[in-house]
Amino acid sequence: MISVEEFRESYINEDINAEAVNTSRYPIEVFIDSAVDILQNDYNLVNGMDHCYYEYSRGSKSMRVDAAYLDLPFNTLNLLFADYNQGDEKSVTNSFIIQKTKLLLSFLENALKDHFKNAEQADPAVQLARDIKNNFVSIGKIHLFIISTDHLSTAVKTLSLQDFSFAGRSIPVVLDVLDIEKIYRSKMVGFKKEDIVIKCADYGIHGIPCIKADIETDQYDSYLAIVPGFFLAEIYKKYSEVLLESNVRSFLKFNGGVNKGIRGTILNEKARFFTYNNGISTTAKEIKTEKTDECYVITEFTNLQIINGGQTTATLAATSIKNNADLSGIYVQMKLTVLRDADPELIRSIATYANSQNKVKTADLNSSHPFYVRIEEYSRKVYAPLASGQIVQQLWFFERARGQYEQPLMQMTKKQRDGYKQVRPKAQKFTLTDLAKYANAADMLPHYVSWGGEVNAAHFHNKMIIQWAKDNSVFNELYFKELIGKKILFEHIGTIISDQTWYQERRAYRPQLVAYTFSKLVHLAKEKNLDVNYRMIWDRQSVPECLDSAIASIAELVFNAMYDENRPTSNIETYCKRSECWSTISKLKYTLPEECYNALMSPSEKLVEQVRAKKEQKFDSGIQDEISIFNKGADYWKSCIERGKEQGVLSYSDVKILENAVKYCNFEYTELSSRQVKEIVFVAAKLKENGIQ
């Protein structure tokens, strides 16, 4: 197994510095992105961070911040300091932590004191300062982060900090340090987050009254409970992102978190809150209960997760912070599922059905969808053409589930790791949220991409499942190759932008610039009734040089539009999330140079390739479906017939169709026709919709 020391060297040189060279970025910028990804996806501590480097050194006003995010749905201000040491490993000491937290809190204090009043208003740090001042009353927690390529000293026993006080308000401050040890552990096989234990006694109540449902199953226990509103608000303030399943985090981020109707009921009709509100749905790994004179009460929760009702919980917390609302007398009904076995599929199903009314779904919940499984399969077997100077064919690795790429490396020798990376370079790995980013930028939806990971992926997923139900053969090998072409183009655009003088002077809003430049290029091609030739990019494993000059010019057009002082929304990040931003940029005048046409193709040329690829996919899918039918076995299909008949789900013809599956599994048929396979798959889907599978 790789040691921490070996991992640190590899992480700095290969993950950070090599990526910085490939993308023309500063290493510290790449390190911040890497660390935030770990904080978000491995530790559930943030919903993302935005780069906003600002440093000022002058006595008591000295301050520094490297990244931040004002997360209003969670009433939290996140501030991050990055300590990127490429040299010999050092210790992150108490004095270091105290010094850096002072710099972060000084930025906050100076923002509230109007230090940035006359500064460049388009600067991300200045926009953050303005947003902090305008929304100070809504901030209920300040979460500081120190990220480091060094290790946390064993002499550091506690990370507790005093509350931040300003203008008569006192706000809790919490601190997390992500050192090289924690980064290393997050990559380990079997990595698990620490359990979060919530004790009711810590919030002034003995327990929460509940009734256990008498359900015959060995998978879970179910309870109905009545939860005090103030208890929900307090645990939400403390645990925020950790408390919410990722689907709910995505939904809150997109919808702002606070429901005006719920807030009005809290402030004006709190006696009616219980009858007006639909309640919340939750899961837990474990609970503790006690018997009282009246009933059973829950005294402790382990890994409590809100899977539906995040907006109710968020609004209770926000109203208590912003309006100083008295939540006594407010109660919320709660359905609690205690999972005896943390089966990922069961957890996904519970969350999916509990949130079926929400328009925005998270990507993580749906990573087992056949679409992502198919992309994963292509990424393991479709080797890229040899690029110039290469001697080994390589794969573009789709990481469908967290850790698929990194965890095998942790168990290998150096020689094995070198061989693994030679075929699967880290730069050619991409995740579900990356996939959605490339696809939506190519579909001219840069305002969706600007929302970031989960929300953008949710938009992509909702489009994808509609197309999958209509005709999934469009997601074929050609689709995969074109997807990689989009990835190559997306990252090439980012490299070109990073090299431009006008960008280097500000170095801000890079993700939005890349997405909008990509979409604008596609839009300009569409105006000529042409498409970007992603298959050509796949074949070359690079972007034709004929596009470079146009990309640079388009990017500058986008940059100027984003920074236009007459834009309808002052905050650039917020502006980029709105469709009106894309509407404005899509109308900007620019003529593609003739040499660009060498990298474009006509719709008729594209159609020929698509038709052929769809036919091949339908043939491959038919074979896979036939194998799946056989592997399920005769007993499975007999059980489906019995249950389907008992529950009135199957018609006479449906039964006959499934009997063909039984005969095939019993070798009475040597093969199934393509029509029989389609019919069996159709009836199986019908059964699944009715809960029979």
DSSP assignment of 48-99, as one string? Answer: --EEEEEEE-SGGG-EEEEEEEEEGGGTEEEEEEEE---SS--EE-HHHHHH
Backbone angles phi, psi at 141, to 5 degrees: -155, 140
d(CA 41, CA 48): 9
Region 173-177 average pLDDT: 93
Q: Which two tokens stand for residue 637?
A: 């299909």
Above 50 in pLDDT, residue 683?
yes
Residue 364 pLDDT: 45
Q: Among residues of the chain, what percentage have pLDDT more than 70?
A: 92
Q: What b-and-e string marks burial along 147-166, b requiring 16 or more CB atoms within 10 Å of the CB?
A: bbbbbbbeeeeeeebeebee
3-class SS at 142?
strand
Above 80 in pLDDT, residue 348?
no
Q: What angle do CA 310, 78, 159 make, to 5 degrees?
A: 105
Q: Which two tokens stand for residue 346?
A: 């069961």
d(CA 686, CA 164): 57
Average per-residue pLDDT for the chain: 86
Residue 254 pLDDT: 61
d(CA 475, CA 296): 52
**Residue 313 pLDDT class (50, 70, 90 cuts):** confident
Q: Which two tokens stand for residue 587?
A: 């109308």
Contact partners, residue 200, CB within 8 Å, separation at least 6:
206, 207, 208, 231, 297, 298, 299, 300
d(CA 145, CA 296): 40
Neighbours of 678 (CB within 10 A): 16
pLDDT in tens, 320-342: 888 888 888 899 999 998 987 66
CB-hemisphere CA count at 13 Å for 33? 15
d(CA 507, CA 502): 9
Residue 609 pLDDT: 73
User: Among 151-155, 459-463, 646-650, which stretch is predicted with the lowest mean pLDDT?
Assistant: 646-650
Tell me which residue of 128, 13, 47 sits closest to 364, measured CA to CA: 47
Q: What residues form DSSP beta bridges with 618?
A: none
pLDDT in tens, 409-454: 888 888 888 899 989 999 999 999 999 999 999 999 999 999 988 8
* Contact yes or no for 300/198 (Cβ under 8 A): yes
pTM: 0.80
376/251: higher pLDDT = 376
d(CA 277, CA 271): 11
3-class SS at 307?
strand
d(CA 312, CA 189): 36
CA 302 centroid distance within chain: 24
**First-last CA distance in the chain:** 41
Q: Among residues of the chain, what percentage have pLDDT more than 90?
A: 43
